Amino acid sequence: MKITYIHFLGTLMLAAIGLTSCEKVIDVDIKESASQLVIEGTVVDDADMQTIKLSRSVSYTEDNTYPPVTGAQVVVTDSQGNEHDFVERIPGVYISSFKGQPNITYTMRVKVNGNDYTAQSTMPRPVELDSLSVTEITFGGEDRKVVAVHYKDPADEVNQYRFVMWVNGTQTRRVYANNDRLTNGNDVKDQLFYSSDDDNEEINDGDVVEVEMQSIDEPLYKYWVTLADQSQNGPGGGVTPGNPPTNVSNGALGYFSAHVSRKKTITIRGNGQ
Amino acid sequence: MQKRHFYYLTLIISLLFALPVSAQKRYTVSGTVRDAQTGETLIGATVRIQNASAQSAAATNSYGFYSLTNTAGEYTFTITYTGYQQVTQTVNLTADTKLNIDLKSGSELAEVVVRATDRKNENVRSPQMGLDKLNMKDLDNIPVIFGEKDVLKTIQLLPGVKSGGEGTTGFFVRGGAADQNLILLDEATVYNSSHLLGFFSTFNADAIKDVSLYKGGMPSQYGGRLSSVLDVVMQDGNNKEFGMQGGIGLIASRLKAEGPIVKDRGSFMISARRTYIDLLLQASPDSSVKGNTLNFYDINAKANYKFDDKNTLYVSGYFGRDNIGIKDLFANQWGNTTATIRLNHVFNSRLFSNTSFIFNKYNYSISLLDDDNNANVTSLIRDFNLKEDLQYFSDKHTIRFGFQGTHHRIAPSEITTDGNSSFNPLSIENRYGLEMAAYVSDDWKLTDKFNLLYGLRLSSFSLLGPGTFNTYDADGDVASATKYGSGEFVKTYFNLEPRLSLSYSLNEENSVKAAYNRNTQNIHILTNASTSSPTDQYVMSSNNIQPEIADQVAIGYFKNAKDNTFEFSVETYYKWLQNQIEYKNGAQLIANANVESELLYGSGRAYGLELYTKKTKGRLTGWISYTLSKTERKFDGLNDGNYFPARQDRTHDVALVGIYNLSKRWSVSANYIYSTGNAVTYPAGKYNVGGLTTYYYTQRNANRMPHTERLDLSATLKAKETKRFRSSWSFSLYNALNRKNPYAIQFRDKKDDPNRTEAVQIALFGIIPSVTWNFSF
């Protein structure tokens, strides 16, 4: 929020005297980095097929093309003693047919080039996504439409959530994570703010917005909230960025998440709704 | 009871220092030095006996008081002060003598010579080092953003002081953090010295008399922060006649009134300003800008009354508020309040006492205005402070001693809601602390050439109940919880802080100096950002947080040339920092009762070289400052436990300030700054998770933002004066070269080629012209 806030303030002050701030693309001198194993594994309750992706990170200066890691052994076991073998369907994408269950702890084991990587995640109890709504606000000198999710937070447990939003099928470039530290037991309205600084298009009339609400466990919340802090703050503006705390062992990047997934879609109409 | 104490103290000190030289009768001359026109006391004016075999001199203290002792005889006294005409007076010393002096401002002299006389070689002779004094008259001429002259932005042009960033008033001194500066306004701590997130400072230059910045060698009466002391003193107000002063600027206006309460005995000063950016926003044709709030105002007020030659009472206060709001979305308010009551008492011609009772508070509130998400968050830090400070003047010693006691209350967060909100009401326990200190220092003229300023400060900090105090395990989970009752001591820390500065004069115009000081700090801000934020979280030392400690050594060479026209200094320092605080990635700072579980503790080191050349006389005045420095931190759990550059680690910092008097009516000025970019963390690699490009970081702060470079210009035109009315126009160009200086760097996928990543530099301000009209009558 911080840089957005100060930037916004600067913009307002300049607007008052008829000027604007500016941005430009610069060359940065960044050394190459060693490639790391990246594991992105999910077990969800709303699909019969679970996916674990293995790839490698690349240097900052390279294209956003991440080499798949093939030939790995991937297994997930659950706290009831079931074992699910994953098969590599396409290079780097490993798949297994089973449905995730709430309150079950899943353990992922990945073996690549003789190295073992493990992670554990517990699927929380489901929380339903009740509805989506749209409000129009004025922010940073522009009228913007903001989509909000509505859900009832259970009072008797600690809950964490992650939201993913797509506008006309394109995922917005922002990480949303929240917990019930300040909202426990309430009917919650969570507004999914984003700014065009993040290289997103604004939401306009006629757009179709889809939101996924994930109920996640505590370590995954830490993971996403750290990523969220980063994506809103460039170096020099806000917090010093760091790598999110992964739940995968042995120095791999990424995460393994067993979560409840709920989705809803809304079509934006004129006059704010 | 207390009074008797003082008599004993006086007696003891007299025995210590007065008796050994009682062979020959000695007498004391004491008094107050004031501005002849306004009656303002002058701080740091020099009173010197010229014809004594061993020359002796004294400087006036913060209340304009001085005391000089010598053997009986006839002496010529010269009294000098920057920007004022020298006064010479002959005194036949046959008894203790009262000598009050009025100095005429140098600007009444003909032509354009601004400084007729100066405190000659004072900078060379004094053992004090690491001290910068701002000349408030220079402030009128130095160009600043939006044309609002500003104390904090001007000190950032001095060596060893680094700006917090474009347009901000946050500053870093000798590698310290922004919260390690003790900022005092009439002795009251100002916790948040910025308006509008740092684009302006809380100090309204109209109301300020004197500004001193201690970067090192802090005298022992100051304590509580590691890096620097910025001591700001408000004007007392004209005690001769009533006057008004003000200015109308592009985005703010100021008005000050001052005058006698009882002529020559008491005066008042009240000064206020307000910005009207939001009024401009209302007038904007862009409908979306309307309805937003963006303003601040502040008021400085002071009054004093002299009961008799021995007793003077001062009452002063400050109140400031910032308001930022976005229509129907949120409103944010914050500000400082301070009040100071002081009583000066002159026990005798050699013993001066000041007793202060001080209140200060910083608070903020954030209101979320959406019905479904409404909440009001408030937070405050509040101090009550009692100080007793005594100065004893003898021939070769000025002894200063006293005590200070401060009671702190921090209300971290209180959330209230209305009706059907997503949020729950929440209140985080208040925290209470008691800070005590006793100190003594001696400014000792050992020989003609050798001066020594040494002292000791004993400080204590106690965390007080009531409340529940937790300890945490390695994972940050609560390991134990202990309840304490009201006023119970939870944890107490004692620290001894030695202070030492010495100077050796090679000759009249050259000296070398050295200093060592230890400082401790018990109030900490949890921030990772360079600029101060209205929602900064304050924490006190506790069962989890140890007091921060800094040790600094410095040596320097000081030289004056051409009859004080040029002042030159080079200082070098090394600083060790202990118990530094950072918070963990993803930490939740607001409304978190267990915020202390989110912290990391480490150490730091900073070292540097500062060069400073100042031209103080002639049509062209100004200075050049250069700083070469390094500042690093080390934390377990960050950067593999290795030292890494602090964000404000900038290798080179250059500032040039020039003021040129073209004619009686026109003066022009320019300043130029260059600084290495901040140390930042750029991504080393990238990968994809959650459908987004995600960056991989290796070494902390191993990269550099592009450098910052800026030229500011200004011109001041004095309008034709009438007998009563004076006015001037100030024109300024901030960032005259329209250079896009980096404020932040963001990384993102390229818009036209999402398969590539680009770095985007955000610049806040290009060229900003402004005009201000100032008047006084």
- Do B76 and B182 have their domain in common? no
- Do B501 and B612 have their domain in common? yes
Under 8 Å between Cβ of B742 and B774: no
- Do A97 and A132 have their domain in common? no
Which chain B residues are within 8 Å of A155, Cβ to Cβ?
none
Report the CATH number at residue B639: 2.40.170.20
Strands in chain A per DSSP E: 22-26, 37-44, 49-56, 58-59, 73-78, 83-90, 93-97, 105-112, 115-122, 129-139, 142-152, 160-167, 170-171, 176-179, 187-191, 208-216, 253-267
- Do B183 and B309 have their domain in common? no
Range of the domain at B221: 125-230
Tokens encoding B507: 């000759």
Interface of B with A in 578-617 (CB under 8 A): 585-586, 588, 591-592
- Do A105 and A53 have their domain in common? yes
Which of B165, B328, B685 faces A57 most closely, judged by CB atoms? B685
Integer CA distances (angstroms), B294 to A5, B70, B336, B701, in order:
12, 59, 17, 34
How many CB pairs (< 8 A) connect A and B? Answer: 270
Name the DSSP class of B612.
E
Which of B426, B683, B762 faces A23 most closely, judged by CB atoms? B762
Which chain A residues are within 8 Å of B688, Cβ to Cβ?
38, 40, 55, 64, 66
Arithmetic mean of pLDDT over chain B:
88
| ipTM of this predicted structure | 0.92
- Do B651 and B685 have their domain in common? yes
Q: Do B585 and A245 touch (CB under 8 A)?
A: yes
Which chain A residues are within 8 Å of B586, Cβ to Cβ?
222, 225-226, 229, 244-245
**B329 in contact with A, Cβ within 8 Å:** yes
Over residues B233-263, the pLDDT tens digits come to: 999 999 999 999 999 988 889 999 999 999 8
Under 8 Å between Cβ of B423 and B392: no
Over residues B33-66, the pLDDT tens digits come to: 999 989 999 998 889 887 655 567 888 999 999 9
Provide the CB-side half-sphere exposure for B320 (13 A, CA). Answer: 30
Give B547's contacts (C-beta < 8 A, 6+ positions apart): B461, B493, B495, B520, B521, B522, B541, B579
Answer yes or no: is A13 within a domain.
no
Tokens encoding B440: 């003594």
Give B507's contacts (C-beta < 8 A, 6+ positions apart): none
Q: Do A65 and B370 touch (CB under 8 A)?
A: no
Under 8 Å between Cβ of B285 and A47: no
Range of the domain at A224: 125-243+258-267
Under 8 Å between Cβ of B582 and B528: yes
Which chain A residues are within 8 Å of B705, Cβ to Cβ?
235-236
User: What is the number of structural domains in chain B?
Assistant: 3
Element (H, E) at B294: strand B293-306
**A169 in contact with B, Cβ within 8 Å:** no
Query: Which of these three, B182, B199, B230, is where a domain ends?
Result: B230
Query: Which of these three, A122, A145, A164, is where a domain ends?
Result: A122
User: What is the number of structural domains in chain A?
Assistant: 2
Report the CATH number at residue A58: 2.60.40.10
Q: Do B251 and A13 touch (CB under 8 A)?
A: yes
Q: Do B250 and A135 touch (CB under 8 A)?
A: no
- Do A103 and A130 have their domain in common? no
Q: What SS3 state is found at B751?
A: coil
Give A263→chain B minimum CA distance, Å.
16
- Do B214 and B236 have their domain in common? no
Q: Do A234 and B421 touch (CB under 8 A)?
A: no
Query: Which of these three, A106, A122, A138, is where a domain ends?
Result: A122
- Do A150 and A234 have their domain in common? yes
Report the CATH number at residue B55: 2.60.40.1120
Q: Do B683 and A60 touch (CB under 8 A)?
A: yes
Report the CATH number at residue A201: 2.60.40
> What does each of the 273 residues of chain A score in pLDDT, given as a tens digit?
334 454 555 555 555 555 556 788 888 888 888 899 999 999 999 999 999 999 999 999 999 999 999 999 999 999 999 999 999 999 999 999 999 999 999 999 999 999 999 999 999 999 999 999 998 876 555 667 889 999 999 999 999 999 999 999 988 888 899 999 889 999 999 888 776 555 566 788 899 999 999 999 999 999 998 888 776 555 555 567 888 999 999 999 999 999 999 999 999 986 544
Which of A27, A186, A236 faces B422 most closely, judged by CB atoms? A186
- Do A146 and A118 have their domain in common? no
Tokens encoding A249: 């062992």
Over residues B149-207, the pLDDT tens digits come to: 888 888 989 999 998 776 566 789 999 988 999 999 999 999 988 887 677 889 999 99
DSSP letters along B540-560, please? E--SSSPPEEEEEEEEEEEEE
DSSP letters along A179-232, please? ESTTTTTSEEEEE----GGGS-PPP-TT-EEEEEEEEE-HHHHHHHHHHHHHHT
Tokens encoding A227: 């990523």
**Among the residues of B207-315, which ranges form H helices?**
277-283
Report the CATH number at residue B182: 2.170.130.10
Q: Among all chains, which residue has been given the structure tokens 């005194």? A: B91
Chain mean position to CA A239: 19
